[in-house]
Amino acid sequence: MSEQNPSSANGTTNSAGPSRRIFLKTSALAAAAMQLSSTGSLHAAGKDEIKVGVVGCGGRGSGATRDSLEADPGVKILAMADVFADRLKSNLDSQKTRFPDRVDVPAERQFIGFDGYKKLLECDLDYVIFATPPYFRAEQVEAAVQAGKHVFMEKPIGVDPVACKRIMAAGDLAAEKKLTVVTGTQRRHEDCYIEMIKRVRDGALGEILGGQVYWNQGQLWYKTKQEGWNDLEWMLKDWVSWRWLSGDHYVEQHVHNIDVMNWFKDGHPVRAVGSGGRAHRVTGDQYDYFAVDYEFADGSHFASYARQVNGCANAVEERVFGTKGQSYSTSNRAEIKGANEWKFRRAKKDFVSPYVQEHIDLIASIREGKGLNEARRIAESTLTAIMGREACYTGRAITWDEMMKSDMKLGPSETITWDIAAPEVKVPVAGTA
Ligand X SMILES: NC(=O)c1ccc[n+]([C@@H]2O[C@H](COP(=O)([O-])OP(=O)(O)OC[C@H]3O[C@@H](n4cnc5c(N)ncnc54)[C@H](O)[C@@H]3O)[C@@H](O)[C@H]2O)c1
What residues make contact with ligand X under the rule CB under 6 A?
1-3, 5, 55-61, 81-84, 87, 114, 116-117, 131-134, 136, 154-155, 184, 186, 236, 239, 252
d(CA 143, CA 138): 8
The residue (of 56 and 428) whose beta carbon lies closer to ligand X is 56
Whether the CB-CB separation of 324 and 209 falls below 8 Å is answered with no
Neighbours of 116 (CB within 10 A): 20
Q: Give the three-state DSSP class for 77.
A: strand
CB 271 → ligand X: shortest distance, Å? 26
Residue 353 Cβ vs ligand X, minimum distance, rounded to whole Å: 11
Measured from the CB atom, the residue of 32 and 147 that comes closer to ligand X is 147
Residues 6 or more apart in contact with residue 342 via CB below 8 angstroms: 196, 199, 204, 335, 336
Between the alpha carbon of residue 304 and those of residues 90, 312, 315, 386, the distances in Å are 37, 16, 12, 13
Distance in Å, CB of 61 to ligand X, minimum: 5
In the complex, the smallest distance separating the C-beta of residue 98 from ligand X, rounded to whole angstroms, is 18
Q: Of 226 and 432, which CB lies nearer to ligand X in the complex structure?
A: 226
- Nearest-CA neighbor of 197 among 254, 268, 269, 260? 260
From 378, 375, 253, select the one nearest 308 (Cα to Cα): 253
Closest residue by beta carbon to ligand X: 58
Whole-number minimum distance, CB 217 to ligand X, in Å?
13
The CB-of-90 to ligand X minimum distance in angstroms stands at 8
| Nearest CB to ligand X, comparing residues 53 and 74 | 53
53 or 58: whose CB is closer to ligand X?
A: 58
Residue 161: what residue type?
P
**Which neighbouring-strand residues pair with 293?**
273, 303
Q: Which is nearer to ligand X, 239 or 393 (by Cβ)? A: 239
CB-nearer residue toward ligand X: 33 or 153: 153
Alpha-carbon torsion (55, 236, 107, 100), positive or negative = negative
Cα 39 from Cα 169, distance rounded (Å):
35
The residue among 3 and 72 lying less far from ligand X, judged by its C-beta, is 3
Q: In the bound complex, what is the minimum distance in angstroms from residue 206's beta carbon to ligand X? A: 31
Q: Are 297 and 254 within 8 A, CB to CB?
A: no
As a whole number of angstroms, the distance between CA 25 and CA 89 comes to 31
Report yes or no: 120 and 128 within 8 Å, Cβ to Cβ.
yes
Residue 184 CB, nearest approach to ligand X (Å): 4
